[in-house]
Structure 1
């Protein structure tokens, strides 16, 4: 059904293969994808402020099984993959893709690929100074419907709150991360 939908919507059409021009295969319809790279670039600019080094504090509340605690550290974000992704930069310089804008669906995508795994989406995007991502996440073997609410205070401060969806349909606070740009 996916392929049928791509062709019937006009996004794809038959055309010559890149590897064997004599072979007809599914290719993007140039008229349907015109302007999508520019749209992505424009939307990625909405996150450009995050590039740089940050100090963070992660505040975790007490539960029945643990006391409240707070962890601190530093991290670095950069635009990567030809400015199509916001990446977290590891101390060894390795880039981990984290946030992008999908111009086809016109939604933001947040990807988790280490320790926690999932693909969260934000169809609404930025509203004033906040963006909200939701989706299924697996963290250290536990699955949950997860929401992360990013708030940009200014170009030198931002935070995000992690929440999980309870059985009663209400969002429950997990923890909060606060970031301040390193000077």
Structure 2
């Protein structure tokens, strides 16, 4: 069966957002083009990593001598997006792998996201003889966005990731409002 490609080129909106309360949030990368909305679930670490890598890519482009592309150092004010995710959030898939690239012919940041692929192995399988199996994903997201949109996406993603539960100053673990127990360093 051929891979279903959710392709959005020059989307109207691309954001990372969450559903749920801190501590039990589900992260989504959501892109909209016209009336079409694609939402894929990500882990918090994937969201942060993607944003950091986009910023690194854009910073590298800015620092390249003779770069013909105008890359903003900060988020253009007209691209700031603090609105919630578009509703309803219909998850197309949970993200396993993500690739990030640069299309110089279009001056666009390119994100490819692939679903988690689960392979069932029964108890009788000899794990030492298990071979690498190439599996064609059932679907994927192919997203191309201009540099200003990419900079705004990265900024918002890092803000959303940072808006979770505060970290304990002693153990650096997330603190829940109702309970948190650790041993402060003065009692060690």
TM-score (norm 1): 0.25
TM-score (norm 2): 0.25
Instruction: Work out which structure has the larger RCO, using CA pairs closer than 8 Å and 6 or more positions apart in sequence.
Output: 2
